[in-house]
Amino acid sequence: MTELAHFGGATLVVAVQLVVVVAGGLLLLGVMRKTRSRLEGRVGPPVRQPLLDVVKLMSKQRVRPSSASQVFVAGPVVLVATALFVAGTGPLVTSDPPLSKSTDFFAVVFILLLGSVALALAALDTGTPFAGMGASRAMTIGALTEPALLVAVLALSVPAHTSNLPALVREGLSDPQVIASPGRILALCAFVVVIIAETGRLPVDNPSTHLELTMIHEAMVLEYSGPDLALVTVGESTRLALLLGLLVNLFVPWGIASGRGAVELAFGSAALAAKVGAAAIAIATFEVFTAKLRLFRLPELLAGAFVLGLLGVVTALVVR
Amino acid sequence: MSFRSGVRAVLRPGRVTEAAAPRPDVALVQARPGAAQRGSVQVRHVDAGSCNGCEMEVVSAFGPVYDAERFGARLVASPRHADVLLVTGPVTKNMARPLVTTYDAMPEPRLVVALGDCARDCGVFRGAYGVEGAVSDVLPVAVHVPGCPPSPDVIVDALRSLTGR
Amino acid sequence: MNGSVLVVELALGVVAAAAGGLCPEGMRLRLAAGLTIAACAVAAAAAAVVLGTGHGVAVHSAGILPLTGASLDLAPPSSVFVATTAVVAIAACVYWPGYARHDLSSRTVSAVIPAFVTSMLVVVEAGDAVTFLVAWELMAASSLVLVLAEQQRREQTRSAAQWYAVMTSAGAGAIVLAMVLVCAHVGTVSFDAIAAVAARPGDAGRLPGGTRDVVLVLALLGFGSKAGMVPVHVWLPKAHPEAPSPASALMSGAMVNLGIYGLVLVADRLVGGAPSWWWTAVVAFGAVSALYGALQASAASDLKRLLAYSTTDNMGLVLVAVGLSGLLATAHEQAVAILALVAALLLVVNHAAFKGCLFLSVGSIQVATGTRDLDSLGGLARRMPVTALLFGVGALSVAAVPPLNGFVGEWLLFESLLHALEASGAVVGVVVTVAVAALALTGGLSATAFVKAIGIGLLGRPRSTGAATAHEVSRSMQIGAGLLAVACVVLGMAPMLVVPSLERAAASLVGGGRPQVLSGGVDIAVAGMEGVLAPLWIAVGLALLGAGTVAARSVVRQRRPASRAADAWACGRELQTARMQYTATSFAEPLERVFDDVLRPDHDLAVSHTAESRYFVDRVVYHSAVADVVERVLYRPAIEAVRWWGSRARMLQNGSVHRYLSYALVALLVVLVVLA
């Protein structure tokens, strides 16, 4: 009986996290657009607009290039599946998600890499020059953000003696002094830069540009339509939401649920929504005051993040 | 411009958008399956040979004063992402095939909006040597927006008739 | 099971070589391949038993080699390498008959491939220095013959073989010298005897410090060259591509591992433990190799050259892990040293699986399209779906994408770095931090390289007629590559099938007790660390969510107009040809620009104008090449210097008999004076 209850509790957590992160991700896009619009002096689309866009896309026709193989159709599916996997098993709403023993931070990084690789391959499958350009730029930036991300993860893992993600969050909850440690703060800076680069926000990439030669992520999805485009949108917004969720839970963990009860989950969801919303508004505000960096200035930015992360590792070692 | 003066420049004007007019008559659009009528319309703009007067009005329509985005319309880069093809200018000989290609690339259900007098009946360019015809000679047009150029609030009304908001 | 199983294996290998050399055309290939497979099956089975029970087997024969006899010895550490070599060889031999239908059925190759495989097995199983060196030379000679096998088709094969011959001889010379120094000091050639002397506590019988350092440096250069360590790697990107694909798979999947094996053999068993400066050097060279290999791979547009540089990259990671293990052992952190060595061995096993699979699939691609230049490929996923799938599995494994085996190896390496960081003092900390930085950089770069290989080579539209007219290859070629692809998937989802054996092997090398470091059935748990890695759950979870996503996508299908296929959106252009797609060169261009200080690409742009007017362009020719920087900076000047001295020395030979007689007179006088 307890087994069944355990399984039921786990399913509830997964379901709650998936709903919160997926729906929340789309609303997050809406919040960011609304923030930008307000700062630009206009009203802007309603916060629920991305949800309406996705629902509409589900009933549009699917058009695929005649020369493409199965990879083109599989790309969005893999992107969404990897994002959902991390959203369902990561410490977002609660610090005790299902499979929490095996939610390793390195594993999360590589699972998200799988999603990016799938999208890049699907772009190359279209056989168009702009998609190839998008894939090339996205993989180059990915190659330069991986080091920063991995050393930042290591900087967090060294003081905690583990790379298990829920354990890292719980450590922050139980010992607030850890959060203020210099190694962790340096890792935070590296993380912020990495998240901006991975999710394609300014100053790395302009998500609302129409000029193909300035696109990085957008160029890879120019060929998608209908439900495929809906999947891509959901995948990208879920990635943004879960990356921001992990960021806030690692550095501002208070509010996260510590069990699997329904009431706790409700409070945890509200706390997550508030924290991630605040982070999103901060990013959107920053975007208003920033111009897009020239493509070949990005390595400098990402190298800076890498050095910060490396300093975080060294600091974590020395200040023990 | 220093950072502080930049911040002040952004924050001082506040909201400049004009208040929304009452919702226009939705019967402007002929009855057809209602994907776009769910409050979300993505628009792909093609200049088939216009003088750019209409383009400036479109830019203004999506700008802070008229703000068409608050009614659910959004400009997109690829016709594969679009529901509505917004065509300006008469269809010149060189742009006839690209225009048809763009329309063919759009997934169904799809609509064409002909913006301006030139798009409706070639306007001042009727009979010119480079002009193939009006947009309706080349594509099935759902909405004509009259004017030379049409003012931004007329453009916003046309978009509202598509989004239903 | 006793030592006679090793004799059986050796005998089968010799008979295979003889059959390949002597039998008539119809049966020679299949006989040679079949007997080699039998020999490898025996070897793999013996290795599995040794790893399972933990007891080794040995056999000695005084007759086979003069003066010292030959001895074979299979212990847990060498069993890992034997098993790896055997599995790769089995796959390559299954693949070989199908490949040979297109070119390779000559007598020489049929005799040499079994000889190559057998000599590799004997190198690992060698129980004394003479057997080891004889087998090493035989391996080098047979691989050289294989590199030259297709020289009729390409002109750069001869130059590649020259580089290979010189460097492998130099490496072998270093190894011979190192072995001679050790054996001369101890007085015997048997590895067991030498290891016993070296393991004695205190300094009794140990090598004097200077000799030990020389031996270690020679071993690093010689074995490092075989493993593809920078800066002695320059033969690898030349020779591996030129060999026929089954031989390339054997060279990259099995032969480079022997460099690692030799290093560990010398440092751990023969010398009885190296000083920390040497292990630090191993880590440093490994990190540089990993970085350099990954960079060159991401800039390469020749498929096999890309794979060869990726071998340098992966072997660099293995060297980092091995060096780290040694450093930790000298700092008396046995548990973490074992963890690092297990990571190294797992990386070796994984590399054999995915690199072998990749080289065999590239061979299929080369046979089907006639080219291995990525800039001329494309669209193969639709024309050759099975080969494309196998290549994709191999490439995604190298890119360390879950749930395949490369990911598990990288994870284990990160965990060992994490534990090493916590474990010890300043020196180790600095070294490990540098290793972490290098490892982090190479992961992203190799992912880019293999996304390029898959995306440009297999996807999109064909960029040449060769690619447009490709057909799927024969069944045996598919099965050969498929065996290794299946290994990649199985090792990725159930790594605990091999990890306990690797731990046993690592523990016997590191010594000092046997704390159990890794445990778990379906998932991998590291002792002392909260949390595990569960690759099977990841695979299951991703599959379920993928299925759910596909179901969700079809949810309102009735309300949607029917799907259609159309030409890709060409931005309104009239024409969008396959030539307008991105090529491998253009895909790599941003990375090349970012790292142009390291890669130093050559760009040449020649614009010729029409005769009538300078304002109209007639032709534009753009040439871009990324040469090996180490070769250009280190080797070319050395070769030029040698050439210069040679041309100077030619003045001694002016053809006059009188002068030659006077040379002889002077030489005789000098000898008499010296002797007196």
- Is A135 part of the contact surface with chain C (CB cutoff 8 Å)? yes
Do the beta carbons of residue A217 and residue A209 sit within 8 Å?
A: no
B83: which chain C residues are within 8 Å (Cβ-Cβ)? none
To test the contact with chain C by mutation, choose from B78, B91, B101, B139 the residue with the greatest count of C C-beta atoms within 10 A, namely B101
For the stretch A33-91, pLDDT in tens is 999 999 988 999 999 999 999 999 998 999 999 989 999 999 999 999 999 999 999 99
What pLDDT sits at residue C162? 92
For the stretch A163-196, pLDDT in tens is 899 999 998 888 888 888 898 999 999 999 999 9
Residue type, C638: A
Lowest mean pLDDT among A282-286, B22-26, B69-73, C48-52: B22-26
Rounded mean pLDDT of C267-279? 86
**Residues on A contacting B at a C-beta cutoff of 8 Å:** 37-46, 49, 52-53, 55-56, 59-63, 209-210, 212, 215, 218, 222-226, 229, 288-289
Partner residue facing B70 (CB), from A44, A56, A226? A44
Instruction: Check pLDDT > 80 for residue B10.
Output: no
Rounded mean pLDDT of C475-479? 93
Residue of A nearest to B63 (CA): A42
End-of-domain residue from the set C453, C478, C513: C513
Neighbours of B21 (CB within 10 A): 10
Residues C483 and C603 in one domain: no
Q: What is the DSSP letter of B134?
A: -
Lowest mean pLDDT among A99-103, B99-103, C367-371: A99-103
Partner residue facing B97 (CB), from C561, C566, C574? C574
Residue of A nearest to B34 (CA): A56
In a domain, C614, yes or no: yes
How far apart (Å, rounded) are the C-alpha atoms in residues C533 and C525? 7
What pLDDT sits at residue C204? 62
Kind of pairing between the strands at A63-65 and C564-566: parallel
ipTM confidence? 0.94
In a domain, C610, yes or no: yes
For the stretch C169-202, pLDDT in tens is 999 999 999 999 999 888 888 888 888 888 777 6
For the stretch C80-113, pLDDT in tens is 999 999 999 999 999 998 888 876 667 888 889 9
Partner residue facing C401 (CB), from A102, A117, A295? A117
Rounded mean pLDDT of B111-133? 93
How many domains in chain C? 2
CA distances from A119 to A124, A193, C455, C600 (A): 9, 21, 11, 31
In a domain, C444, yes or no: yes
In a domain, C206, yes or no: no
For the stretch C244-265, pLDDT in tens is 999 999 999 999 999 999 999 9
Calculated CA dihedral for residues A159, A162, A166, A167, nearest 10 degrees: -60
Inspect the interface and report whether the beta carbons of C561 and B107 lie closer than 8 Å. Answer: yes
A55: which chain B residues are within 8 Å (Cβ-Cβ)? 38, 40
**What mean pLDDT, rounded, does chain C reach?**
89
**Residue B134 dihedral angles phi and psi, to the nearest 5°:** -80, 170
Instruction: Check pLDDT > 70 for residue C628.
Output: yes
A82: which chain C residues are within 8 Å (Cβ-Cβ)? 542
The CA distance from B165 to the nearest CA of chain A, in Å, is 11
How far apart (Å, rounded) are the C-alpha atoms in residues C338 and C419? 11
B109: which chain A residues are within 8 Å (Cβ-Cβ)? 60-61
Residues C493 and C605 in one domain: no
Residues of A numbered 180-209 whose beta carbons fall under 8 angstroms of chain C's beta carbons: which are they? none
In a domain, C422, yes or no: yes
**Residues on B contacting A at a C-beta cutoff of 8 Å:** 3, 6-7, 10-11, 13-17, 35-36, 38-40, 42, 63-65, 67, 69-70, 72, 74-78, 80-81, 83, 105, 107-109
Do the beta carbons of residue B116 and residue B141 sit within 8 Å?
A: no
For the stretch C71-83, pLDDT in tens is 888 888 899 999 9
Partner residue facing C461 (CB), from A127, A135, A164? A127
Residues C317 and C465 in one domain: yes
Neighbours of chain B (3+ CB pairs under 8 A): A, C
pLDDT band at C279 (very low <50, low <70, confident <90, very high): very high
Domain range enclosing C419: 275-513
Partner residue facing B107 (CB), from A61, A210, A215? A61
For the stretch C354-393, pLDDT in tens is 999 999 999 999 999 999 999 999 999 999 999 999 999 9
Inspect the interface and report whether the beta carbons of C572 and B78 lie closer than 8 Å. Answer: no
To test the contact with chain C by mutation, choose from A19, A102, A141 the residue with the greatest count of C C-beta atoms within 10 A, namely A102
Neighbours of chain C (3+ CB pairs under 8 A): A, B
Residue of A nearest to B42 (CA): A53
pLDDT band at A273 (very low <50, low <70, confident <90, very high): very high
Full 3-state SS string of C103-148: CCCCHHHHHHHHHHHHHHHHHHHECEHHHHHHHHHHHHHHHHHHHH
To test the contact with chain B by mutation, choose from A40, A47, A54, A288 the residue with the greatest count of B C-beta atoms within 10 A, namely A40
Do the beta carbons of residue A217 and residue A134 sit within 8 Å?
A: yes
pLDDT band at B31 (very low <50, low <70, confident <90, very high): very low
End-of-domain residue from the set C513, C540, C574: C513
CA distances from A219 to A120, A195, A207 (A): 10, 19, 10
To test the contact with chain B by mutation, choose from A33, A37, A60 the residue with the greatest count of B C-beta atoms within 10 A, namely A60
pLDDT band at B35 (very low <50, low <70, confident <90, very high): very low
State pTM to two decimals: 0.93
For the stretch B39-54, pLDDT in tens is 899 999 999 999 999 9
Inspect the interface and report whether the beta carbons of B109 and C570 lie closer than 8 Å. Answer: no
Inspect the interface and report whether the beta carbons of C572 and B108 lie closer than 8 Å. Answer: no
In a domain, C440, yes or no: yes
DSSP assignment of C256-286: HHHHHHHHHIIIIIISSS--HHHHHHHHHHH
The CA distance from C293 to the nearest CA of chain A, in Å, is 14
How far apart (Å, rounded) are the C-alpha atoms in residues B78 and B61? 20
End-of-domain residue from the set C489, C513, C537: C513
pLDDT band at C424 (very low <50, low <70, confident <90, very high): low
- Is A295 part of the contact surface with chain C (CB cutoff 8 Å)? yes
- Is A10 part of the contact surface with chain C (CB cutoff 8 Å)? no
pLDDT band at C418 (very low <50, low <70, confident <90, very high): confident
Residues C436 and C316 in one domain: yes
To test the contact with chain C by mutation, choose from A57, A163, A204, A228 the residue with the greatest count of C C-beta atoms within 10 A, namely A163
Structure tokens at A166: 């829920």
Inspect the interface and report whether the beta carbons of A139 and C447 lie closer than 8 Å. Answer: yes
Partner residue facing B102 (CB), from C566, C572, C574? C572
Residues C420 and C283 in one domain: yes
Inspect the interface and report whether the beta carbons of A102 and C532 lie closer than 8 Å. Answer: yes
In a domain, C643, yes or no: yes
Inspect the interface and report whether the beta carbons of C566 and B104 lie closer than 8 Å. Answer: yes
CA distances from B150 to B19, B26, B162, C555 (A): 19, 19, 17, 41
For the stretch C574-606, pLDDT in tens is 888 888 999 999 999 999 999 988 999 999 999
For the stretch A187-231, pLDDT in tens is 999 999 999 999 999 999 988 888 888 899 999 999 999 999 999
Residues C480 and C624 in one domain: no
Residue of B nearest to A288 (CA): B10
**In the B/C pair of chains, how many CB contacts fall below 8 A?**
18
Q: CA gyration radius for chain A?
A: 19
Inspect the interface and report whether the beta carbons of B98 and C572 lie closer than 8 Å. Answer: yes
Residues C497 and C616 in one domain: no
Q: What is the DSSP letter of C567?
A: P
What pLDDT sits at residue C233? 93
What pLDDT sits at residue A8? 83
The CA distance from A105 to the nearest CA of chain B, in Å, is 35
For the stretch C435-448, pLDDT in tens is 888 888 899 999 99
What pLDDT sits at residue A121? 96
Residue type, A156: L
Residue of A nearest to B2 (CA): A289
- Is C565 part of the contact surface with chain B (CB cutoff 8 Å)? no
B15: which chain A residues are within 8 Å (Cβ-Cβ)? 38, 41-43
In a domain, C616, yes or no: yes
Neighbours of chain A (3+ CB pairs under 8 A): B, C
pLDDT band at C118 (very low <50, low <70, confident <90, very high): very high
Inspect the interface and report whether the beta carbons of A136 and C582 lie closer than 8 Å. Answer: yes
Residue of A nearest to B39 (CA): A52
Residues C606 and C507 in one domain: no
- What distance separates the 2 farthest-apart alpha carbons in chain B? 55
What pLDDT sits at residue C153? 77
Inspect the interface and report whether the beta carbons of C379 and A154 lie closer than 8 Å. Answer: no
